[in-house]
Chain A
């Protein structure tokens, strides 16, 4: 299975906190800037509005005076200032002066100033156009609104230093920044606490799994955990289930094995008790021989059990230097005396090279199949061993002329301790189980079939991949 590479953070909590922290900072900056710029725009609008109102008020206040003066012959064309003009009442002037530092006004008649405040840039160019304009004088920026009075050449001009707006905007910015700066660490702490609280469920789950032992593999309940953890809990439950199944399998095997050993042991005990009470020396001798046979059977069964138990350990042996032909021939040589005693002929076909696979497993397969065939073959019959290659598979078939195995029992004989109706009394019920396990470890296939010539007997076929171990 392909495994995705995942960048591994040292801590889930730290990683989450980092990401959320950055996000939070961006949000604070955006909200702060938005607030700042909105405030700035509003301030400009309000102040501009005030300028317009101011200009209109001034014009309204001075309408009569302007008319009067306009009626006078232009003897007094001189400039008026606020101080020496009685265009404004003292109260008006007072009010104007109180914030006169940053405000100014001019009244133009044609190209000439007829009235102006003390403040403001000393020299001002005539208004370039009606409406707003900005000028810089004495390193001060002024915003000026020019309002022409209709049906006269009088223009009312009112201005304001930009600094005042800046001070206000700065005040707002400061007022915004301070709580935001306080908000960042406060929220940081809150986010950290929330995250670690959220991960508490995960920690509890870890602790719960940590408490489990091999004895307690019951599935974890889903209810106590947040929904996000359900897939994890389910995966763990599936793992528990698999472990539990394999444990049960092993337990059952151990149970079966112990039970299987009891029968030969019962025979040993019984025969020993019989011998102890047998007076006839000839009888005793015969019974002692039977006792030895019983002990041999128990030993044989123990060997088979050990073989089966050790097969699992060969899974990782990694030895692939075996050759099916070499191991088959060696197994035949080993069993030739047994075959001779039972008057069974052995034949071999298919010399060649069949490399690959763990030699120990190959030998086990060949030896067990041969032994089975020899034990079931009637005297005078033949056990035929054949090797061949087909479609990338090495094929070993062992054919005997014994009673065979009914088709219905064929799947069951591969189970441990199953002894079919035609089982030889000497069998442990483990031979084919051992072969099946070894074949599985080699990535091969085992099949029990009728003889090709339909004569009574059994043909066992083992197919092993040519490269030895399967890649699976």
Chain B
């Protein structure tokens, strides 16, 4: 799952990126309003963390421009501005949530999960299909109630597929969920991960269709 952080403070930006990567997200970092705007045009993000005090284009303007393009990506404003009228302004400009610095990391993570969940119209971070259960928050996988160890890449691929259960996900989309802008894409990573998942969770779980990509069919 790919997130965008728009934060000009290098320390905070790096720390956030690290924390999100550790939680299994793929993260892009923008340090100016311009960069953030460019990134949102180039990529679909599962969620955007937006600082308001960005150089050259302010966070609020970037947010308004994003919503002006009818982009529904969940946006959490992360800012030092804590006055009620500022919060009102931020939320009215189209933000889904408003977090004041300094924030608690666990709380921010929970909010990120909640907004992604809401965005995908789910009620829980635990998704099950074909006796396989994936907990997106705890990053655990079970098969018939028994825990199964998967690699980070396998988990990302599994999560991306099970979140869009019943739909085909292209190889490029899976790669986008796996790699941030800085990483080099290895050509057969997806195939390796899918092979690993089939081996651990059963060969019937993931269906491949040439030209369409991969899918986990809905339970019938």
A residues apposed to B, CB below 8 Å: 259-260, 262-271, 273-274, 277, 287, 290, 293-294, 297, 419-421, 423, 425
Contacts and interface: CB of A to CB of B under 8 A. Distances in A.
Interface of B: 8-12, 14-16, 18-19, 22, 31-32, 53, 55-56, 78, 80-82, 100-106
Given A259-B80, A274-B105, A266 B12 contact: yes
Given A259-B81, A274-B105, A264 B14 contact: no
Contact of A425 (B10, B15, B22, B53): B10
B55 A266 contact: no
7 contacts: A263-B101, A264-B9, A274-B18, A287-B18, A420-B55, A423-B55, A425-B31
A197 B78 CA distance: 63
Contacts of A273: 19, 104-106
B102 A290 contact: no
Given A259-B80, A263-B9, A274-B105, A290 B15 contact: yes
A274 B15 contact: yes
B55 A419 contact: yes
Contacts of B55: 419-421, 423
A469 B149 CA distance: 74
Nearest to B31: A425
A274 B12 contact: no
A274 B102 contact: no
Contacts of B14: 290
Contacts of A260: 80
A269 B102 contact: yes
A428 B31 CA distance: 15
Given A262-B102, A270-B12, 18 more contacts: A259-B81, A263-B9, A263-B53, A266-B101, A266-B103, A267-B15, A270-B16, A270-B105, A271-B11, A273-B19, A274-B15, A274-B18, A274-B19, A274-B105, A290-B11, A419-B55, A421-B56, A425-B10
Contact of A267 (B9, B31, B100): B9
A266 B56 CA distance: 22
Chain A's interface: helix, strand, loop or mixed, by majority?
helix
Contacts of B82: 259
Contacts of B101: 262-263, 265-266
A297 B19 CA distance: 21
B159 to A, nearest CB: 21
Nearest to B86: A259
Nearest to B108: A270
A268 B18 CA distance: 14
A425 B18 CA distance: 19
Nearest to B99: A266
B50 to A, nearest CB: 14
Nearest to B14: A290
Q: Which of A262, A274, A419 has the largest number of chain B CB atoms within 10 A?
A: A262
B124 to A, nearest CB: 24
A259 B102 CA distance: 10
A263 B19 contact: no
A267 B11 CA distance: 6
Contacts of A419: 8, 53, 55
Given A271-B15, A421-B56, A423-B55, A263 B105 contact: no
B208 to A, nearest CB: 36
A76 to B, nearest CB: 130
Nearest to B51: A263
A33 to B, nearest CB: 77
Contacts of B12: 263-264, 266-267, 270, 294
Contact of B8 (A262, A277, A290, A425): A425
Nearest to B52: A259
B122 to A, nearest CB: 26
Contacts of A267: 9, 11-12, 15
A293 B11 CA distance: 8
A330 B140 CA distance: 61
Contacts of A293: 11
Nearest to B83: A255
A269 B55 CA distance: 23
Nearest to B105: A273
A274 B23 CA distance: 11
A419 B105 CA distance: 27
A268 B19 contact: no
A421 B11 contact: no
